[in-house]
A = this chain, B = another copy of it.
């Protein structure tokens, strides 16, 4: 029977240091009003005793909490596959860690569930704010979350986020750049495989795609809206390649679908890039592992996550914020795009 690990509290530290608990509190919050020797003595004692302030007690007292929430609403199998999220999360963490804050993560299966969750988190005061992703057009989260007054930052174009402070990338310009690049290579039939059109950024890209084609006087080409899963990307690619006038280039909405597209092309004996150019989105290492390597619209996802988090801290602190646009995804040409040369060129 080992002695029961007696929980040590601020009182023990105070006693051991020969001061009041108030003094310990002052020391640990770096507030003025203590002499240097006393301060040091307190820290030394705390270190010896292995004490750190109980975070429940602290946040009960301060009415603040140092965790922020992130709810992801995509099927788990998919989440694992999309490099995007983990990298995004790591970006979040990078600034969270500086402030010794933590991330509360939850996977949900519907927006309604997410709304419930955010509300619960907030009501129970478990989070100080939230990061919202994957905005839909007329997103149902906007109204309830604003009503609750949860400090939140949204990832997405300001048009979509209904006044919730947002951080976004200029997808429209990026799509335009992608299409112009392919057109410059000589492609006339360019297709696009996008995410679900309910998703705001898919809609934006879809629109931008059409506009750019029109500007360039290219044929109105097929766009397929699908999920983000690789298999869906594969199916979409297959359907495009079976068209009578099949496209000579395809732009994908993420990297996973592009990898799948590459597989389909191989399976159907369509040479990449000679007969078909493929362009991925959200460049990740995955794009460099295939053969041929995948050209992509790359994007500093880590930095994106960091920026979002910084903005959230501003919101929580009550500082004024304006929508922040971060770097536009930029073209990284690799081996999967080239001038169309036709079969067996």
Contacts and interface: CB of A to CB of B under 8 A. Distances in A.
Contacts of A54: 60, 124-125
Report which residue of A7, A86, A229 has the largest number of chain B beta carbons within 10 angstroms of its beta carbon: A86
Interface string A241-266: 00000000000000010011011111
A129 to B, nearest CB: 15
A230 B234 CA distance: 22
Interface stretch (A98-106, A184-192, A203-211): A98-106
Which secondary structure dominates where chain A touches chain B? Answer: helix
Contacts of A57: 56, 60
A149 interface: yes
A28 to B, nearest CB: 11
A35 interface: no
A219 interface: no
A288 B232 CA distance: 12
B231 A289 contact: yes
Contacts of A51: 123
Contact of A79 (B53, B86, B234, B264): B86
Interface residues of A, number: 67
A335 to B, nearest CB: 10
A75 to B, nearest CB: 9
A34 interface: no
Copies of this chain in its oligomeric complex: 2
Given A86-B76, A123-B51, A125-B56, A284 B81 contact: yes
Interface stretch (A16-24, A87-95, A153-161): A87-95
A266 B262 CA distance: 13
A65 interface: yes
Contact of A93 (B65, B107, B267): B107
Contacts of A344: none
A65 B265 CA distance: 52
Contacts of A120: 52
Given A65-B56, A126-B102, A256-B289, A87 B76 contact: yes
Interface string A262-280: 1111110000000000000
A60 B7 CA distance: 13
A91 B76 CA distance: 9
A4 to B, nearest CB: 10
Nearest to A4: B149
A37 interface: no
Interface of A: 5, 7, 50-57, 59-60, 63, 65, 67, 76-81, 83-87, 89-91, 93, 97, 102-107, 120, 123-126, 149, 229-231, 233-234, 256, 259-260, 262-267, 284-286, 288-291, 293, 301-302
The 3 closest A-B pairs by CB, nearest first: A76-B90, A80-B86, A266-B291
20 contacts: A50-B123, A56-B125, A67-B104, A77-B284, A77-B285, A78-B285, A80-B83, A80-B85, A80-B301, A85-B86, A89-B107, A90-B107, A102-B104, A102-B126, A103-B105, A103-B106, A105-B105, A231-B288, A259-B290, A260-B289
